[in-house]
Structure 1
Amino acid sequence: MRFQTIGNITVARFRLLETQADVSHFVSCRAGGVSPPPWDTLNISHTVGDSPARVEKNRSLLARTLGMRTKQLRFCAQRHGTDIWVVSERERICPDEPLREADGMITAQPGVCLTVVVADCAPVLLWSTSKRVAGVFHAGWRGLAGGICEKAVDTMRVLFRAAPYEMIACVGPCIGACCYRVDAQVIEAMEPHLCRTPHALVARGGGFYLDLSAIAAGQLLSAGVPEAHIEEAGVCTSCRQDLFFSHRGSGGRTGRCAAGIAIEG
């Protein structure tokens, strides 16, 4: 992953996806917007108490930085689940329809930027190189416990005949095992996934710490995406609150970054 600053806004991009001519993508950082503390400054979410006018201004600034119109950014109503919205051509050209409840989106339609908002949960970007199908997913511990990454790969395979072995998957900045202390409820929910990625749970100082990125990468690998086609950001959002919003690190009151993917053409 590398960082690119355009004007006042910095975005992160993945090496694997940058090699693909037919797709664009980004993960936004927190600077360059208009929101005051605790949402300072490029908060992209309407659900954290920031004013709607400021959020819309931030979305406009981000879209302009990315070279697109604000209405091309397509959001869903995230619920910490595993529902996936397949964005159709009709939905692509009707951006003002009510948000669908989902924690992931997939499309084969060009010109729409599928976007999720995050502050510690992992954003996961997925691209089928042969079928030109893109997806983005919000993967917190509940979504990962429900297997959202495997469900995403399987949805692309079933609906678009996309083979997992030719997919590219990128796991964005999220809270790491350095900071993410979890309780027995989370450990129990994650137990089936920890069987294949035991290194994702770290015992330290009388507590247990979870690596969301490792769990997500393990699910993608289990779903058939080759290890060489999976890129992890390797950045903890709680450690790097200078760059990203962190729900855990801020005590629960902060903004949200965005991660998005769009098919060119």
Structure 2
Amino acid sequence: MSFNGAVNEHYPTPAAADESTVSHVQKGFKISARKLPISKSGPIDEMSQKLGIPVPEMIFGDNMVSIEHLESGWRLEFNAYDALDRVDKTGKNMLKVAYSKEWSSSREKTHEGIKEVVKPFDWSYTTDYKGTITKGKPFNMPPQQDAERIPIELLKRPDPILFFEEVVLYESELDDNGISVLSCKVRVMPDRMLLLCRLFMRLDGVLVRIRDTRIYVDFNAGKVIRDYTEKEDAFDKVKKSLLFSGKLPEDITVALRDPNQIAHLIPEVKHTLENLTVP
């Protein structure tokens, strides 16, 4: 794989992709992560054509995180293409707030030269992506009061971390008006693991949005829990919440760039729990 080749070079080769993939096997589960450089123009154009929308300016099309149950072959993967395929391509659901009209209007003017070619879509790259099951049975969604929840107390235990990776799938600076980034973090302990796929979208002066997919695996019982939450609030409300929480004014700008510092301040608007047991 050449990092200095032509800008439209299609990479990685299968061998290079394998070399860039790190894996850990724990009690019958294989957890893998692949981190490669930002996609080049050839793969970007191909992806945009297939998706029907322009892709974010920083797209890591070859990156992925996966969880595989070796005995049954069940496999769940997180990748940029499938995440972007969940972005609204009609424009009908763009931001869903009245005060975003001014921003979206300016966005359309910026791209008016290609409006005949590109359909309206959610420029914030908000996705409700929960991962792609590439093999095996789907999750069950029982009545939410009966669904098994992620055992937070067990995750708080000081168990050794046997494997940890953080992988960015895509990122956009929204024409210097904020940020939209989708990334995955995975940590594996002796008896369990947790994967967090997080979309963090901040449109300055308009909206802050966090969408989290958590995958919890109990290796001993073969249980998998998928916990999905959507949180959002007006930008100014989040800013006020930071002030009321005791943040100094000079620290608020930094906090607004860090979803870990603001996630607990943003109201939840949707929450679903799904379960499955393998094999």
TM class, shorter-length: under 0.3
Larger RCO (CA within 8 A; separation ≥ 6): 1
Instruction: Decide which structure has greater helix share.
Output: 1
- TM-score normalised to structure 2 length: 0.26
Q: TM-score if structure 1 supplies the norm length?
A: 0.27
